[in-house]
Amino acid sequence: MRKYMILGTALGLAVVTAGTATAQLAEKKVITLAAARKMVAAAEAEAERNHWAGVIAVVDDGGWPILIERMDHAALLAGVELAPGKARTAALFKKPSQDLEDAINGGRVAAVTARGFIEMQGALPVVVNGEVIGAIGVSADTKEHDAQIARAGLAALNASANTK
């Protein structure tokens, strides 16, 4: 009998503990592979429409790649490093990568000491309900084209979110 009481108490404690732990966990929005594919497809369509070939990358909130696409005849082979690096920068700094480029160009030279980041225009954070959940980065032929392509990818995600 004592064995059953101890077992019952242990099970009850486990249920109470699990309920408390669940109450402490938050739900987190993430970029799915399907969403990354939608963003890349829209960005690629924008690039093709304008005859610009490049590399497009989507990363999660930690800057880790979800999807990287190198279009045929990409303008810069270095784009394979630059696009995901720009996206990582936008995700981790929680702002467009252009903001960092602007800071450097505006005299904030110390910003170049942020090792491992690509402080160049062409990446935008993905923001849902005020939270950065990742970013899209592009490396094509010019920084203006990179930004335009990234905006097209981000717009595709925002458009699908607004229709739900």
In a domain, 22, yes or no: no
* Plot region of 107 (φ>0 → left; ψ -120 to 50 → alpha; else → beta): left
Task: Encode 24-40: b = buried (16+ Cβ within 10 Å), e = exposed.
Answer: eeeeeeebeeebbebbb
CATH code for position 108: 3.30.450.150
In a domain, 65, yes or no: yes
In a domain, 20, yes or no: no
In a domain, 25, yes or no: no
In a domain, 37, yes or no: yes
In a domain, 16, yes or no: no
Q: What is the mean pLDDT of residues 84-99?
A: 98
- Distances in Å between the Cα of 66 and the Cα atoms of 8, 72, 148 are 45, 20, 21
Number of domains in the chain: 1
- Distances in Å between the Cα of 15 and the Cα atoms of 18, 51, 121 are 5, 60, 51
Q: What is the pTM of this model?
A: 0.83
In a domain, 11, yes or no: no
* Span 107-140, pLDDT tens digits: 999 988 888 999 999 999 999 999 999 999 999 9
Q: What domain range includes position 122? A: 33-162
* Span 38-91, pLDDT tens digits: 999 999 999 999 999 999 999 999 999 999 999 999 999 999 999 999 999 999
In a domain, 13, yes or no: no
